[in-house]
Amino acid sequence: MRSVRSVIGLLSLLSTASPVIASAQVFDVIEADITSVQRAMASNRLTCRALVQHYLDRIAAYDRVGPTLHAIQHVNARALQEADSLDALPRSQPRGPLHCVPVLLKDQVNTRDMPTSYGSILFRDFVPQRDATIVERLEAAGAIILAKASMGEFAGRYVSSASGIIRNAYDPTRNPSGSSSGTGAGIAANFGLVGIGEDTGGSIRGPAAVHALVGLRPTLGLVSVHGMLPANPTQDVLGPMTRTVEDAARVLDVIAGYDAKDPITAHAVGRMPTSYRTALRPDALRGRRVGVLRTRRDSTSELRNARRDTTLSSDSIRVLETRVRERHAEYAKAATVFAAALDSLRGLGVTVIDSVVIPPVSGRRVGNSFETEPSTNAFLAEQPNAPVRTWQEILLSGTVNPWRARAMMDYVGKTMDDADYLAVLRYREAQRTAVLQLMADQRLDALVYATYDAAPTRIAEDVLTNPRPDDGYGLGDNRGLSPSTGFPAITVPAGFTSDGLPIGLEILGRPWADDQLLAFAYAFEQRTRHRRPPTTTPPLPARR
């Protein structure tokens, strides 16, 4: 549930706000982008206060009532005041390139003037003493942190003790992917202009893909993560989640670059363009070569093994057979959308090399569970007013969602000094080389695949109470290559299944080719125009 402070703050905003000026009613906030907002302000058709009020109205109407998306954890009680300060500036002197851009910020990122929960009821009223670097850069560019977006607890999945179940904006009975779930649902539902997500294993691209959004996981080290609760520091990145590619490029221009408080960003020096917008051209894909990765993600092997298991009853096998048929039907729906996306690429002048295969990587792949506990403990030690200080204290509190608590137990006692951690690093390095080798051998500019080979599954009824909910979460998940290598990847709307659920096309490139990926995504977006808002959150009646 939202904290009492959040509810009181929002009610206060709605009750004390002055009416939206009549001229601002000409402006339609639904599917607005940065360019349309700035043009409306320049022509005196929109004020910053009116824009912010529009989004506050939509949050009040749809987040905890209506479809009850639970996308917003905490509303900025100063949002209208900050908007007024921007309106007071001369129109010819905007504060920066993101002047009056209302941002939904994943609640994993510290803000000194509003709570940061990390998806946990333990931290629901915790107010950090310092802003994260990304917050400083956004605000310096004129953006307003409109709200903190709900997230999966401690950066896992889509449920938390702080917000409950976060729901998919296109079908609230289905999962919104995770763990930047609130950012994805909120931007899709037009609760803000742009969003910021965090991606350790896919948490920007997953929620973006299932919400018909653009989600960029930048090259590791391009954007500072100082002031963000870590998950796995050698994989964690922050990046934009937006309704258009151009907006993603505009946000990246502001947040990218060297930060002395996050030394890994020193690798970005000399590797950034003057602006990520300069490469955005409708013909950016003409003459390019892309390889299609097709990773089989069905359940036939699961069924085959079950039939060999003499301990399983015939009823159990029949249930599994039914599930496999259902999942294959979901794969088929997504495959139709993906095939059409490949045809669109060909129509853009792309040479599509189908079914390419990454050279096999020797060694044993080991999950990266070694960084989480020590990095979390170190981060909390730097927060003098944190309510708890260690990973183990969090677990011993008994407040963590049961599924998340079970997963978090796997990290207890593991450190980067463990011998298996070396296997993680060796595997990653070998995989980086293998991907680059494939791209070199095939003369590829990028790799493409579906972010998910299936639409999101339905939310289990017991997802808040069962440590092992049977919800099929992550069905057809193809997000792992980018975080494993540190290479950039972007998802862009590829279309909708026959039952109206979004599918994302993901494009992966070489390190520091973020501008090229944005250009490719822009060309695809401009040709296909697949983005459309969910019907669950329609326009509100005009304010009088």
Taking only the tens place, the pLDDT of each residue in 148-164 is 999 999 999 999 999 99
Strand partners, 477: 452
Q: Which two tokens stand for residue 195?
A: 């969003």
Cα 403 to chain centroid distance, Å, stands at 21
Q: Pick the most confident of 14-28, 193-207, 282-296.
A: 193-207
User: At residue 280, does pLDDT exceed 80?
Assistant: yes
Give the pLDDT score at 366: 72
pLDDT surpassing 70 at residue 516: yes
Q: What count of other Cβ atoms lies within 10 Å of the Cβ of residue 157?
A: 27
Q: Which residue, chain included where needed, has tokens 């302000």?
A: 41
Q: What was the pLDDT predicted at 324?
A: 77
Cα-trace Rg, the chain: 22
pLDDT at 444 over 90: yes
Active site residue 498: no
- Provide the whole-model pTM: 0.93
pLDDT in tens, 73-126: 999 999 999 999 999 999 889 999 999 999 999 999 999 999 999 999 999 999
pLDDT score for 323: 75
- Strand 194-199, strand 446-450: pairing: unpaired
- DSSP H or E run through 113: none
Q: Percentage of the chain with pLDDT > 90?
A: 85
Contacts of 469 (CB under 8 A, 6+ apart): 403, 460, 462, 463
CA distance 98 to 250: 8
Distances (CA, A) of 267 to 109, 149, 251, 259, 501: 22, 30, 20, 10, 38
Q: Per the residue annotation, which of 161, 179, 180, 181 is the catalytic one?
A: 179
CA-to-CA distance for 328 and 284, rounded, in angstroms? 35
Phi-psi region of 123 (alpha: psi -120 to 50; beta: other; left: phi over 0): alpha
Task: Report strand pairing: 502-508 vs 489-496.
Answer: antiparallel
Bridge partners (DSSP) of residue 351 are 289
**Residue 6 scores a pLDDT above 70:** no
Model pLDDT, residue 3: 43
- pLDDT for res 304: 64
Query: Which of 139-143, 172-176, 223-227, 316-320 shows the lowest per-residue confidence on average (mean pLDDT)?
Result: 316-320
- Burial class of residue 260 (count of CB atoms within 10 Å of its CB; 0-12, 13-18, 19+): exposed
Residue 452 tokens read as 């998910």
The yes-or-no verdict on residue 382 having pLDDT over 90 is yes
How does pLDDT run across 452-510, given as a tens digit for each residue?
999 999 999 999 999 999 888 999 999 999 999 999 999 999 999 999 999 999 999 99
Q: Which tokens go with 268?
A: 């970005």
Q: How far apart are CA 428 and CA 132, in angstroms?
A: 28
Unique residue bearing structure tokens 């529009």: 54
What is the reported pLDDT for 305?
A: 64
Cα separation, 453 vs 451, whole angstroms: 7
Amino acid at site 457: T
Task: Show the tokens assigned to 181.
Answer: 């779930």
How far is it, in rounded angstroms, from Cα 156 to Cα 200? Answer: 10
Mean pLDDT of 15-28: 48
Confirm whether 106 is a catalytic residue.
yes
Short-list 378, 430, 328, 366, CA closest to 228: 378
The structure tokens 């320049």 sit at: 42
pLDDT in tens, 211-227: 999 999 999 999 999 99
Cα atoms in the 13 Å half-sphere on the side-chain side of 320? 17
Q: Whole-number mean pLDDT of the chain?
A: 92
Q: Average of pLDDT values for 395-420?
A: 96
Q: How many helices (H) and strands (E) does the chain have?
A: 16, 13
pLDDT digits (tens, 9 = 90+) for 49-60: 999 999 999 999
pLDDT of the residue at 300: 57
> Average of pLDDT values for 392-402?
97
Per-residue tokens: 157: 């999945």
Residue 16: its pLDDT value, please?
39
Choose the catalytic residue: 6, 106, 120, 484: 106
Q: How do residues 314-323 score in pLDDT, each as one tens digit?
A: 887 787 777 7
Residue 36 annotated to the active site = no
With 60 as the cut, is the pLDDT of residue 25 above it? no
Of the residues 161, 203, 224, 482, which is catalytic?
203
Output the CA–CA distances (angstroms, integers) from residue 276 to 120, 196, 251, in the order listed. 35, 17, 9
Report residue 20's pLDDT band, with 50, 70 and 90 as the boundaries: very low
